[in-house]
Chain A
Amino acid sequence: MTNHEPIVEELGALHRAAPSDLLDTVLQGVDLADSYTEIAGPTGHAFVAWNGRGITAFVPVDAAGTREEFEKRHPRKAFFVDVPPQPLAKYLDHTIKTGRLGHLPVDFSSIGEFQRRVLEKCAEIPPGEIRPYGWIAREIGNPGAVRAVGTALGRNPVPVLIPCHRVVRTDGRIGSYAYGSPMKRQLLEHEGLDPAAVESAARRGVRFVGSDTTGIYCFPTCHHAQRIGDRHRVEFRSEEAARADGYRACKVCRPAA
């Protein structure tokens, strides 16, 4: 541009910097970018990734390895940041501390409808409590899909945050976990549950626990069941047995359809 008259300079002065968040918005718009950081989880450090829609991944550092290895295995480009933005950081902290998802958004955009329903149902299980796979299948209206529920939970992109460790086998055994059975037990212990005691009760055939004062039966780890004193505690091997004794199902843990 050889022309240096005022009009040309004024036109040149109309140049503006793009808004600072434009790149991030574009990258997220084409599903190219997540951010991630390293946080202290309930049983050790973990990488947690997110984008504008919510959390996209939670991987224990032990399982992920270095940052480079995490980035390589993450399905999208991920940029490391020291601190997550607010209010995400606040929600994340709350979830780690309380074991409840709360307001923490999860990015379900690349997750199928069935898996999404399984994960959302799973997120309802309170900390320190467990439910069988069949319970989730029934609650989401697919009582026959017990195995599919297991598969969906096994592919949970945000374990710990969505507590798939609180879902156990129907026979009462703690069962397997994407990051190994020991971590599943460790997470439950961290929430105040004794996996060995749970399994030993299950081996004795205990599936449900009732109170003879209320006439209500629950899953053994339901917080209502845990409040029943020894004198009033009644154990059942099946829903049929509980109902035959005149007990009704708890409306909180919903042990029966």
Chain B
Amino acid sequence: MTTTLDQLPIRLAADRDGAFPDLVRHLQDGVYSGVLQFTRSRQDAEDVTQETFVRVYRALGSYDAARIRNLRLRAWVWTIALNLCRNRARGAARRPEAPLVGDRADRFEDAAAQALDNAGLEEWRRRLAALPGPQRAAVVLHHVVGLPYAEIATSTGRSESTTRSDVRRGLAKLRTMIEEEAR
């Protein structure tokens, strides 16, 4: 990865096919980590992450070069990812729950490695799922994925100050939950 995220829109505008693999390399860990909190299984998270990038690629094909150069890439990718997560959640309401544990066992060398990877995932997902949608999105994007408030605001279509307060309120609720769990 020699290109920085900032240079990517220019490269994408000039050579979509050549630069697209770097786009995926730059953003795949963040998208996967965030999506993992919004979906119900690793497999779902993997599917949604893949689908996000496939849609990103297709959308880039329908944009002219000027529009691609001006993209706030990461925020735009997250707009697409969040939409897919919402659609998936709507469909998932009618499907049985798939637990994280035991899912995609082939990814791990042994049970210990999987247990380590699962550490915290289940309980945090349960807590985060109890937050109102916008707060959950803002907390995950800011604290799990590492997005700045401005980019979160762009991807969710809310204002930056609302985003800040979403994160603050979300964290406050999580603290309360943890305190109640400890009692």
Q: A10 CB to closest chain B CB, in angstroms?
A: 6
Name A13-71 residues within 8 Å CB distance of B.
13-19, 22-23, 25-27, 29-30, 32-33
Please report the C-alpha to C-alpha distance between residue A146 and residue B91 in the assembled complex, in whole angstroms: 51
B50 at the binding interface (Cβ < 8 Å): yes
Assuming the contacts A7-B175, A11-B143, A26-B24, asked whether A16 and B54 have C-beta atoms less than 8 A apart, the reply is no
Number of A interface residues in the complex (CB < 8 A): 24
Assuming the contacts A1-B143, A15-B144, A18-B49, asked whether A32 and B57 have C-beta atoms less than 8 A apart, the reply is yes
> Residues of A contacting B53 with CB < 8 Å?
26, 29-30
Assuming the contacts A18-B49, A19-B32, A32-B57, asked whether A13 and B120 have C-beta atoms less than 8 A apart, the reply is yes
**B21 close to A12 (CB less than 8 A):** no
Assuming the contacts A14-B37, A16-B117, asked whether A22 and B28 have C-beta atoms less than 8 A apart, the reply is yes
> Residues of B contacting A22 with CB < 8 Å?
24, 28, 32, 46, 49-50
SS class of chain B's interface: helix, strand, loop or mixed?
helix
Please report the C-alpha to C-alpha distance between residue A16 and residue B144 in the assembled complex, in whole angstroms: 9
A8 at the binding interface (Cβ < 8 Å): yes
14 more CB-based (< 8 A) A-B contacts, given A15-B33, A17-B29, A77-B18:
A1-B142, A8-B143, A10-B120, A12-B146, A14-B36, A14-B144, A16-B29, A18-B49, A22-B24, A23-B21, A26-B24, A29-B50, A30-B20, A30-B58
A-B contact pairs, 29 of them (CB 8 A): A1-B142, A1-B143, A3-B171, A8-B143, A10-B124, A11-B124, A11-B139, A12-B146, A13-B120, A14-B33, A14-B120, A15-B144, A17-B29, A17-B32, A18-B32, A18-B49, A19-B46, A19-B104, A22-B24, A22-B28, A23-B21, A23-B25, A25-B50, A26-B53, A26-B57, A27-B20, A29-B54, A30-B58, A32-B21
